[in-house]
Amino acid sequence: MNARLQSLLLPETDYEVVRQHLPHAAWRYVHDLLRECPVEVRVVPHRATKLGDHRPPSRNEPWHRITMNEDLNEYAFLVTLLHEVAHLRVSTKRKEGAKRGEGVKREQPHGRGWQREFAAVIDPVIEGSMVPRDLAVALTASLQRPRAATCSDRKLLLALSRFDSGNDQFLYVEQLEVGEWFQMQNGRRFVLGNRLRSRYQCIEVESGVEFRIHSLARVVRLDPD
């Protein structure tokens, strides 16, 4: 592949946009992490069902992609981004192992491989004092609970939520009662159902379609029509 064609295939990350969503103290560290492997990071509008995600390379897109919700506070953005970087590292190591002809054992998305990689990218944040002390304590505790993924670690998410901008009309989904109506920040309305680990089964009022919404999503309580 010639150099020009290769450059056209490289992902384009708007590093300035990513920088604006991160704590100043963590930017250089995150920038260096993202430069280790071809990855495109996109900041996207709020999604009720996820805070961020990682997609490995494919035939049509030969690089990793990470998407991040734009409405996360800077510390939630940092931790979620590192959560996804850990997935990227696991995917990269699996591919490298396969190329060497090594047997690659499948494991749960947040299994031991992911736990090792997440610890590896989080430790410098804690040790480098890139986050406030109380959040560093919550992160350290999270690393000691190996079964807890970041997105389902309630104590960590509560610690992160303390840095959200205050707004009295908003509350967390988990503060509602089953059967109550609520509205997401994007205007969509739901009825709260049963809890499933870190998420709730919710029925969208207009469509009748079921969605699973995180227990710590910020919503507005509604009166039924």
DSSP conformation class of 149? -
Domain chopping of the chain, boundaries: 3-161, 171-222
Global pTM value: 0.77
| Residues 72-97 pLDDT 10s | 899 999 999 999 999 999 999 887 76
**Closest CA relative to residue 93, chosen from 64, 113, 118:** 113
Burial class (CB in 10 A: 0-12, 13-18, 19+), 141: middle
| Residues 172-202 pLDDT 10s | 898 899 999 999 988 999 999 999 987 999 9
Fold of 171-222: SH3 type barrels. (2.30.30)
Mean pLDDT value across residues 205-220: 90
Where does residue 101 fall: left (phi above 0), alpha (psi -120 to 50 degrees), or beta otherwise?
Answer: left
